[in-house]
């Protein structure tokens, strides 16, 4: 294989520089956009599963998704991750529509580099930045489910998909720098590719992967390396691995983590909610989902499955690290862990991950509308009091007045 050349990281608005004296910048909090639908349970609202008895499914209508993104914007989240796959709505089209219904919130758009040309992707990003006033972030997803990749017409193996992503991102980066690009790679070929204009700002590129080839591509082309919410010790090992690979290439990357959250006023209330979510899983669903996930090519998915070992009848038995619950992964692919506890406890765990080097937290909860308020009104203010989080400029959370009670006097 011809090694993809190392490219310098572009300048972007998310760059994190050390503070004087060796301190760290406040963390960035993002939310998640359920473009497959939503519900009050872990099953329902996506992945072809029926809604549990706990509540009806909420279709991913533009009306409902608007409620979610406006809630996320109002409580101080920076951006919303939007997934990619056959099981959800198209991320580009959905976020383009929602950009006009929000004012400040950015959109972290997941997409698969093998399904469109790099020149078109670079052009789409430029158009999105212009019409959204610079509110696009990009999450490159190589794909880990063979059947879904074949349904899209992609028959490459896992390692080749990562190598193709590297060539793809080389073309995109060079186009964004205003170059005219000729490349005859192993998987990508373009001739005299150029853009009439370049995006301003250049969208940061988020990339994930736990396999050796994924790490190599990540440090050569991404700005933020993402990991799912493994226990802190395992996350620290990943950070050390990626930092070492990046340093060998004269680069540095930031780190982000993808986690679900169940935060309540008390720990007992939070764990009661986790118990309710577990109890709402229909009989046979765990076995069905785990059988499907066992066929995944994703190393990250294998690591998620190893945390819960197929399930248990008690929520507390799935606490794999303090306040880290593996129950979500019993019936959902991808990120399979949740931070569970009081607002203070969840803030403690986020602070712990931040101390390891995690700068960006992509959070979610079921249902996503209500949980955005639980986290945004409970956890984020607690992080703010510790100096770990600052509301984004222009956010209502940055200047919200204290609510008054009529006739209560002054």
What's the predicted TM-score (pTM) here? 0.89
By C-alpha distance, which of 357, 347, 356 is closest to 385? 347
Q: From start to end of 221-346, where are the E strands?
A: 224-228, 254-264, 319-321, 324-325, 338-342
Distance between CA atoms of residues 410 and 322, nearest Å: 43
Which pLDDT score, from 0 to 100, does residue 198 have? Answer: 97
Distance between CA atoms of residues 59 and 50, nearest Å: 12
Which pLDDT score, from 0 to 100, does residue 405 have? Answer: 61
**CATH T-level fold of 24-258+360-392:** TIM Barrel (3.20.20)
Three-state DSSP class for 215?
helix
Spell out the per-residue pLDDT of the chain, length 410, in tens.
332 333 333 344 334 334 434 467 899 999 999 999 999 998 765 443 343 444 568 999 999 999 999 999 999 999 999 999 999 999 999 999 999 999 999 999 999 998 999 999 999 999 999 999 999 999 999 987 888 999 999 999 999 999 999 999 999 999 999 999 999 999 999 999 999 999 999 999 999 998 999 999 999 999 999 999 999 999 999 999 999 999 999 999 999 999 999 999 999 999 999 999 988 888 888 888 878 788 777 887 878 787 787 666 788 888 999 999 998 888 887 888 999 999 999 999 999 999 999 999 999 999 999 999 999 999 999 999 999 999 998 878 776 666 666 666 65
Query: What is the DSSP pairing of strand 28-32 with strand 224-228?
Result: unpaired
Task: Measure Cα distances from 355 to 58, 60, 262, 335 in Å.
Answer: 37, 36, 21, 21
Three-state DSSP class for 206?
strand
Domain residue ranges of the chain, discontinuous segments joined by +: 24-258+360-392
């Amino acid at each position: 294989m011809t090694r993809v050349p190392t490219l310098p990281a572009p300048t972007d608005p998310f760059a994190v520089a050390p503070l004087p004296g060796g301190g760290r910048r406040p963390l960035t909090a993002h939310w998640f956009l359920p473009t497959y639908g939503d519900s009050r349970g872990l099953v329902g609202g996506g992945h072809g599963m029926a809604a549990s008895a706990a509540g009806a499914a909420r279709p991913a209508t533009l009306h409902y998704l608007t409620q979610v993104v406006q809630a996320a914007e109002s409580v101080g989240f920076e951006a919303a991750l939007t997934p990619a796959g056959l099981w959800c709505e198209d991320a580009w089209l959905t976020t383009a529509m929602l950009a006009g219904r929000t004012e400040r919130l950015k959109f972290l758009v997941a997409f698969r580099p093998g399904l469109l040309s790099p020149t078109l992707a670079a052009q789409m990003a430029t158009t999105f930045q212009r019409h959204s006033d610079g509110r696009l972030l990009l999450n490159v997803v190589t794909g880990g489910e063979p059947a879904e990749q074949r349904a899209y017409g992609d028959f490459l193996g896992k390692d080749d998909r990562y190598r193709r992503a590297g060539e793809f991102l080389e073309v995109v980066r060079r186009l964004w720098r205003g170059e005219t690009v000729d490349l005859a790679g192993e998987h990508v070929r373009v001739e005299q590719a150029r853009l009439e204009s370049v995006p301003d700002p250049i969208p940061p590129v988020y990339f994930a992967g736990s396999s050796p080839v994924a790490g190599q591509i990540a440090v050569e082309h991404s700005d933020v390396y993402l990991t799912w919410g493994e226990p802190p010790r395992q996350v620290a090992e990943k950070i050390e691995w990626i930092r070492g690979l990046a340093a060998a290439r004269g680069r540095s990357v930031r780190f982000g983590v993808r986690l679900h959250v169940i935060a309540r006023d008390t720990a007992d209330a939070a764990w009661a909610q986790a118990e309710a979510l577990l109890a709402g899983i229909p009989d046979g669903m765990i076995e069905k989902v785990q059988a499907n996930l066992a066929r995944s090519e994703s190393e990250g998915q294998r690591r998620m499955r190893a945390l819960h070992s197929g399930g248990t009848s008690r929520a507390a038995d799935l606490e794999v690290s303090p306040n880290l619950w593996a129950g979500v992964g019993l019936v959902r692919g991808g990120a399979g862990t949740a931070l569970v506890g009081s607002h203070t406890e969840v803030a403690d765990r986020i602070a712990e991950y931040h101390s390891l080097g995690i700068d960006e937290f992509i959070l979610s909860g079921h249902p996503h509308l209500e949980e955005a308020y639980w986290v945004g009104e409970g956890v984020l203010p607690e992080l703010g009091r510790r100096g770990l989080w600052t509301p984004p400029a222009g956010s209502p959370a940055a200047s919200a007045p204290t609510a008054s009670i009529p006739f209560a006097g002054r």
